Amino acid sequence: MQQQDLGRIEVSNQVIASIAGHAANGCYGVVAMAARGLRDGIAERLQRENLHRGVEVRVLEDGIDIGLFVVVEYGVRITEVAHSLQDAVRYEVEKALAIKVLNVNVSVQGIHLEARS
C-alpha cells in the first residue's frame, strides 16, 4: 500500500476491516456488526472476533472505500448513528494507516429491540 525507501508496506483488507469493525462496534446506538446480506430476512449478529466480516473494504489508487453492515438499537435516530459511524471509522482507519478514506457506506441490516422484563 505504501512505498518507502526501505521497501513496501502492505496491510491486508482483513486488518483494515478489523480496525473499522472495532471502531464501529464502539459507537453509540450500534448493537452489533452484521454479516453481509440477510438470511431469510434476519441479520446475523457477529461475535467480537468476527467483526471484520461485517465490513467490506475496497482499496483504490487514491484511498479506501469501506462498507459497514450493522444492527442498531431500536429507538435511536438511525441517520445520526450512521453519521457517527462514518466519522469514527474514517478517523480510526486514517489514524492507524495514514491513508485517506474516501467513503464509509453504512448498511443497517437490523434493529435490536431490548427484551422487557
Q: What CATH number should be reported for the domain holding residue 55? A: 3.30.70.1350
Window from 3-7, 105-109, 113-117 with minimum mean pLDDT? 113-117
Residue 117 lies in a domain: no
**CB–CB of 46/35 below 8 Å?**
yes
Residue 91 lies in a domain: yes
Q: Which residues of 67-76 are buried (b: 16+ CB within 10 A; e: fewer)?
A: bbbbbbbeeb
* pLDDT at residue 40 in the model: 44
What is the rounded average pLDDT of the residues 63-83? Answer: 94
Task: List the domain range (segments joined by +) for residue 10.
Answer: 2-112
Residue 84: pLDDT band (50, 70, 90) is very high
| Nearest one of 102, 98, 72, 99 to 85, comparing CA atoms | 72
Q: How many domains does the chain have?
A: 1
User: In angstroms, rounded to a whole number, what is the distance separating the alpha carbons of residues 29 and 8?
Assistant: 39
User: In angstroms, rounded to a whole number, what is the distance separating the alpha carbons of residues 39 and 44?
Assistant: 8
For 93, the grid coordinates are 482507519
Whether the pLDDT of residue 71 is over 50: the answer is yes
